[in-house]
Amino acid sequence: MFHDFLDLLYPRMCHGCENPLNANEKILCTTCLHELPVTNQHLEKDNAVEKIFYGRIPVENAVSLLHFEKKGMVQRLIHNLKYRGHEEIGDFLGDWLGSELKKFPEWQEIYAVIPVPLHRQKLNKRGYNQVTKFGQQIAEALDAEFYDEVLLKVTATQTQTVKKRFARWGNIDETLVVKNAELLEGKHVLLVDDLVTTGATLEACAQKLLKIPGLRISIATMAVTH
């Protein structure tokens, strides 16, 4: 009742077509929901995302929920999630992918979900890591832990010269560190990110984590550009 009233005052819009949503619709209207380019990669062995990492890092399973196209609906969803404060899009996509993955034994053995980290400076600016809700929902569906304090992005220790150079370019020299590694010894972890393109970010994260003895890695992202 209260929500219906709020909808009248501030109609919630579909993130796909920007028409008002019905009370029983979330994030996307029914039409847009059915038009989303779903990959169904979790049903496919040796899928396109797994192939990105062939010969680079050992990956148990990899999946992206959606196909990403420039100017398409998925791009709008991720843009609104990252830059417009719509964290609930992460919940929506994570809940969706989690409910699919939990049907399959290879995903049920995930012990912990780990988000690709943001540097604290970016985190403070954005207010949240856009992958957090996505990862939390998947962790809940798989009855796994959610660890966002294990893999961190920090400012690299720099020489004065390097510091000056980065200051001039307005960049921060970032590096990845692993904390509390003992939590993950011998475990199967799921690394999550928003978008996979070249796979370079996920590869760098995986390489750090794979230094933990006995650790195995799977990967899940909201979308893939392939």
Name the residue among 222, 224, 226 with its Cα closest to residue 82: 222
Return left, alpha or beta for 127; rule: phi > 0 is left, psi -120 to 50 is alpha, else beta: left
Element (H, E) at 189: strand 188-196
Q: Which among 27-35, 41-49, 149-157, 210-218 is the span making contact with Zn ion, rule CB under 5 A?
A: 27-35
Residue of the chain from 14, 114, 151, 224 that contacts Zn ion (CB under 5 A): 14
Q: Rank residues 17 and 43 by Cβ distance to Zn ion and give the closer one.
A: 17
CB of 73 to Zn ion, least distance (A): 8
Residue 63 has, within 13 A of its CA and on its CB side, a CA count of 22
Task: Read off the tokens for 45.
Answer: 């062995």
Element (H, E) at 153: strand 151-155
Q: Which among 16-24, 64-72, 196-204, 215-223 is the span making contact with Zn ion, rule CB under 5 A?
A: 16-24
Instruction: Tell me the backbone φ, ψ of residue 155, rounded to 5 degrees.
Output: -75, 130
Dist. CA 155–CA 121, nearest whole Å: 10
Interface mask toward Zn ion for 75-114; x: CB under 5 A: ----------------------------------------
CB of 85 to Zn ion, least distance (A): 19
Determine how β-strand 151-155 pairs with β-strand 174-178: antiparallel
Residue of the chain from 27, 29, 97, 206 that contacts Zn ion (CB under 5 A): 29
CB of 38 to Zn ion, least distance (A): 16
CB of 33 to Zn ion, least distance (A): 8
Q: Should residue 16 be labelled a site residue for Zn ion when binding is judged by CB under 5 A?
A: yes
Q: Should residue 21 be labelled a site residue for Zn ion when binding is judged by CB under 5 A?
A: no
Residues shown for the chain: 226
Q: Rank residues 34 and 70 by Cβ distance to Zn ion and give the closer one.
A: 34
Binding site for Zn ion (CB under 5 A): 14, 16-17, 29, 32
